[in-house]
Amino acid sequence: MSAEPRALDARATRTLTDLRRAETSALLATDAARAAIAVHGTPVMLLDLERVRRQYRRLRNALPFVRFHYAVKALAHDAVIDALAEAGCGFDVATGDELALLGRHGVSAGRVIHTHPVKKASEIADAITAGVRTFVVDNDTELEKFADAPADVRILVRLAYRSPHAKSDLSAKFGVGAFEAAHLVERAKRLGIRISGFSFHVGSQLDDPQRFADAATETLQLMADLEKRFRVRFDTLDIGGGFPIAYDSPVASVEQIAALLRPVLEPHLRRLDILAEPGRVMVAEAMTLVTSVVGIAERADGRWYHLDDGVYGSYSNVMTEDVHPLIFAERDLRRAGTDAGSRRWATLAGPTCDSSDVIAREVTLPELAVGDLLASPVMGAYTTVTATRFNGRPLTPIAVVGQGMPTGEVAAVPVGAVRQTVP
């Protein structure tokens, strides 16, 4: 690579960091954020619903013919569900529990697709009874579970497109290639089950716009081949999720990805229902984590700050996805510019007794004292939902702040509705 693109990358990263710093600074200065910190203490997540609505609007503007279904697994929060339901968004679930959560919010099952390729027969039966009509399979055993399903149930075959550069290469676990897809279509025909179409997921946090377009192109080609070969007709294409978000460096925008997808998809709009299941891109920027310094230690490798949230809690994305969240000291946010003289490298550790509970190393920070606040933006996706209660620590509360809130008011939403997985 020439020196020039790298220089551009560095500049773009600096610009992104400056933008995130300014956004975080503005958020922490609001009455609602101050009130949330006063009510909950730290750690606390600040959730701005307007950013969720904005991302949904962006996706709709970029791909107006796609029916979006928010992947609830990214952040199964009551206020997010209500905001998206009100905006007209559909929902994508992976479990009966997520479906039940949506039901409690009055979301009709007709707006829900169930895209987990492997599920218990009882879960399928419950979802069908509740009114869900779209399901995904990727193997014979799963297909056979739909032998007696009502005729209006849509079954999609999940295809695999490996993306080793994604944060989560979902095709490493699910999906089939063209050969197995043909086998499933043939087998379904013999069982009297109608395959309505195909789905894929290019991998979560995939910064490769062309991959989205290529996967759609290959899937459409496969659909055309199989229609001819088996004399069947498909009517649905689900392009999955995967849209990336800029954590600590710039990524392709929704608009850039859409610009490549549109010419591939547009010729098929009259006969295909096109769905998508985005999760991360809808909610990642909507939450900011506020933590504080609990302890300070000089260790062999220098200064360590011990915080009250860590990789077994809201920073679970560091461990599960190798995300590198930006971490700003409130001291820096409060003053314009930085005082280079008083800054030092430090390690930021989480609160548990496990030595792998390290959030970041070699972070440049001002001198911090116990009680000082730190904030990480872009903490909305795959954070709270994958946090654990390791060491008996409670899950970090989520406070709704931002637009739509009267100044100074804080809606403290209990995290009970958020699913918890313990590794």
Ligand X SMILES: Cc1ncc(COP(=O)(O)O)c(C=O)c1O
Q: Which residues are catalytic?
A: 353
How many residues contact ligand X, by CB under 6 A? 16
Q: Does 127 bind ligand X (CB under 6 A)?
A: no
| Smallest separation (angstroms) from ligand X to the CB of 380 | 11
| Smallest separation (angstroms) from ligand X to the CB of 166 | 8
Residue number of the CB closest to ligand X reads: 241
Q: Does 280 bind ligand X (CB under 6 A)?
A: yes
Please say which residue, 278 or 402, places its beta carbon nearer to ligand X.
278
SS in 3 state form for 133-163? CEEEECCHHHHHCCCCCCCCCEEEEEECCCC
Q: Does 380 bind ligand X (CB under 6 A)?
A: no
Single out the residue of 48, 78, 92, 321 in contact with ligand X (rule: CB under 6 A). Answer: 92
| Smallest separation (angstroms) from ligand X to the CB of 233 | 25
Single out the residue of 78, 169, 277, 330 in contact with ligand X (rule: CB under 6 A). Answer: 277
Cα separation, 391 vs 395, whole angstroms: 11
Single out the residue of 243, 247, 305, 328 in contact with ligand X (rule: CB under 6 A). Answer: 243
For strand 328-329 and strand 195-200, is the pairing parallel, antiparallel, or unpaired? unpaired
**Residue range at the interface with ligand X (CB under 6 A); choices 237-245, 289-297, 299-307, 321-329:** 237-245
| Smallest separation (angstroms) from ligand X to the CB of 158 | 8
Q: Does 350 bind ligand X (CB under 6 A)?
A: no
For strand 398-401 and strand 302-307, is the pairing parallel, antiparallel, or unpaired? unpaired
| Smallest separation (angstroms) from ligand X to the CB of 137 | 12
Please say which residue, 71 or 188, places its beta carbon nearer to ligand X.
71
Q: Does 197 bind ligand X (CB under 6 A)?
A: no
Please say which residue, 47 or 333, places its beta carbon nearer to ligand X.
47
| Smallest separation (angstroms) from ligand X to the CB of 212 | 11
| Smallest separation (angstroms) from ligand X to the CB of 71 | 4
Q: Do residues 347 and 368 make contact, with C-beta atoms less than 8 angstroms apart?
A: no
Please say which residue, 42 or 115, places its beta carbon nearer to ligand X.
115
**Residue range at the interface with ligand X (CB under 6 A); choices 37-45, 175-183, 241-249, 410-418:** 241-249
Q: Does 198 bind ligand X (CB under 6 A)?
A: no
The packing angle between helices 96-104 and 121-130, to 10°, is: 20
Q: Does 93 bind ligand X (CB under 6 A)?
A: no
Q: Does 241 bind ligand X (CB under 6 A)?
A: yes
Q: Does 115 bind ligand X (CB under 6 A)?
A: yes
Task: Give the HSE-up count for residue 420: Cα atoms under 13 Å, Cβ half-sphere.
Answer: 15
Single out the residue of 43, 96, 278, 380 in contact with ligand X (rule: CB under 6 A). Answer: 278
Q: Do residues 243 and 276 make contact, with C-beta atoms less than 8 angstroms apart?
A: no
Single out the residue of 28, 49, 52, 74 in contact with ligand X (rule: CB under 6 A). Answer: 74
Binding string, 53-72, against ligand X, x = CB under 6 A? ------------------x-
| Smallest separation (angstroms) from ligand X to the CB of 198 | 13
Please say which residue, 283 or 307, places its beta carbon nearer to ligand X.
283
For strand 134-137 and strand 154-159, is the pairing parallel, antiparallel, or unpaired? parallel
Q: Do residues 177 and 160 make contact, with C-beta atoms less than 8 angstroms apart?
A: yes
Q: Does 279 bind ligand X (CB under 6 A)?
A: yes
Nearest Cα residue to 151 out of 192, 199, 198 = 192
Chain contacts with ligand X (rule: CB under 6 A)? 71, 74, 92, 115, 170, 201, 204, 240-243, 277-281
